[in-house]
Structure 1
Amino acid sequence: MLLCGVMLAGGVTGCGKKEASLSEEKIINYDMPAEGEKIVELNIKDYGTVKIRLFAEECPKAVENFLGLVEQKYYDELIFHRVVKDFVIQGGDPKGNGTGGESMWGTGFKQEISSKLCHFEGALAYAVASDKLNNSQFYIVTGDTVTEQTFEQLKAYGKTYSDQVKQMYYEHGGQPYLDGDYTVFGQVIEGLDICKKINDVAVDSKSKPKEQVTIESMKVTEYHAQ
């Protein structure tokens, strides 16, 4: 179960030519949670804690599934089995090789793709296989520099962006190639530096860290502004 979108020198290929017109919507990735809102703390062994906001109003089933799996301790002791520099860190597979994982209901469920959420650096999304169904595997975007050339390439794939969204990609970096093909349902609000440290680990030919990066635990907690 891998991300289908990959970058190639001088071009891009994806899971299909899909419209991802982001022109008028208000982008909400970086809106902070309300006081007392549910968030998830991802505790990574030897690295620290990553705090994530979830967007239940945009992706209700995706968030329900993630919260359910967290409360079941499904993710505890699993590894990040795939790390691609300046792209993503990916985990959530009990098999640890990218071929396993299931939703809290035991079967995959349809994607919920919101035009208000983009693949900026720190975005949380579900990885899918060829069936395009969400299960347990997820990734966090560690991002790359985005330029005007990036958006010129994306026009050939039916993906057009407003000046506002382009500017946000220029400022934050990310992976606009993935927009419209995967369910973005959360955003790192604290600990992005930890994700980027993991993004620098040595990996093997299959992009698996040579030294395990382990999710010690995940828990649901409340957001409180400091």
Structure 2
Amino acid sequence: MNKKQSPLLYVGLGVVLIVVVGLLIFLANQPKNDETSTQQTTQTSTQSSEPTGIDGKKTSQTSLDKLKLPQLNDTVGKDEAEVEIQTSAGNIKIKLFPKLAPLAVENFLTLAKEDYYKNNEFFRVIKNFMIQTGDPSNQGTGSKSVVNDNQPFATEISNQLYNIRGALSLANTGQANSSSSQFFIVQNAEDMSSQLSNFLRPSKIEDAYKKGGYPSLDGSYTVFGQVISGMDVVDKIASAEVETNSSGESSSPVKPEKITGIKVIKDWKF
């Protein structure tokens, strides 16, 4: 080998070395095998589809099925209150859940004792849905809060309470902190088990929806009570003849029933 050939030989060896090192670095940064890649994808998919309850928290069917569900019995417990809504169509007894919806129950009981609801009409009535009241103007434009510094308050969502038939819930505007005095009673008696959303619910609540209710309301409205007697009165009010209101909804009773008084049978101290 002569001296003129030596530089070319070194250059060639240098190029080969650079290529080999580059190839080793490239291979070192690749997934070890397809199984590893699939495993990572599966884990990501599982995490993103983990089930939640109506409160938005991750949960399981087993844990939900262990919850106490106070709406499913007519007994008024030690941690519950009771009222009788007296109406021109008859009386409706309701138990309230101050531990699970404290703002809603405190506001309702305080206003009831002040006769705020007296002569309020059931101004919005939709058969196979609900009956609504709680506005002295009887137009759906008025409301009152005596909690939260006299301001409308947040929706209180509990995974123990649902909009099954007979549920007492607060109306709101769809905006945050818009609950106050207006309330409705869920009246629908049709089987709604096929319309359950992607929320997980206790199995006994799913069964309850076979007897009526409105599951699409779950997670958006505060449930704070349950009718324990007088659903026949609720059905009577819901069956009233209605006419179209200014919004184009057929829900304004021609001869509206009204609240004549609310009797607090079992009070609650906050």
The reply to whether TM is greater than 0.5 is yes
- Please report the TM-score for the alignment, with normalisation by the length of structure 1: 0.81
1:136 deviates by: 0.4
More contact order relative to length (CA 8 Å, sep ≥ 6): 1
**Residue number in structure 2 paired with 1:220:** 264
**Residue number in structure 1 paired with 2:46:** none
Q: Name structure 1 gaps, 5 residues minimum.
A: 1-17
Structure having the larger proportion of residues in helix: 2
Give yes or no for the alignment of 1:59 onto 2:93: no
- Map 1:162-201 to 2 at 5 A: 162-170=202-210, 172-201=211-240
Select which of 8, 16, 20 maps to 2:54: 20
**Identity in percent:** 36
| SS state at 1:68 partner | helix
Select which of 109, 115, 129 maps to 1:87: 129
Note closer, same or farther for the CA distance 1:205–1:90 as it changes in structure 2 (3 Å cut): same
| SS state at 1:186 partner | strand
- CA contact 1:27–1:118 (8 Å) conserved in 2: no
In 1, the alpha carbon distance for the partners of 2:79 and 2:160 equals 23
Task: Please say which of residues 211-220 and 34-43 is displaced more in the overlay.
Answer: 34-43
Partner deviation per Cα, 1:77-98 (whole Å, 9 max, x = no partner): 1101100111000000111111
Structure having the larger proportion of residues in strand: 1
Cα RMSD (Å): 2.2
Partner deviation per Cα, 1:171-210 (whole Å, 9 max, x = no partner): x310011011100000011101100011100011131110
Partner deviation per Cα, 1:125-156 (whole Å, 9 max, x = no partner): 100013342110000000242344312xx23x
- CA contact 1:144–1:175 (8 Å) conserved in 2: no
In 1, the alpha carbon distance for the partners of 2:94 and 2:119 equals 18
**Residue number in structure 2 paired with 1:15:** none
In 2, the alpha carbon distance for the partners of 1:131 and 1:169 equals 26
In 2, the alpha carbon distance for the partners of 1:162 and 1:37 equals 21
- Please report the TM-score for the alignment, with normalisation by the length of structure 2: 0.68
Partner deviation per Cα, 1:3-49 (whole Å, 9 max, x = no partner): xxxxxxxxxxxxxxx9627841332212320379631111101x111
- Higher Cα Rg: structure 1 or 2? 2
Give yes or no for the alignment of 1:29 onto 2:71: yes
| SS state at 2:236 partner | helix
- CA contact 2:84–2:94 (8 Å) conserved in 1: yes
Note closer, same or farther for the CA distance 1:72–1:201 as it changes in structure 2 (3 Å cut): same
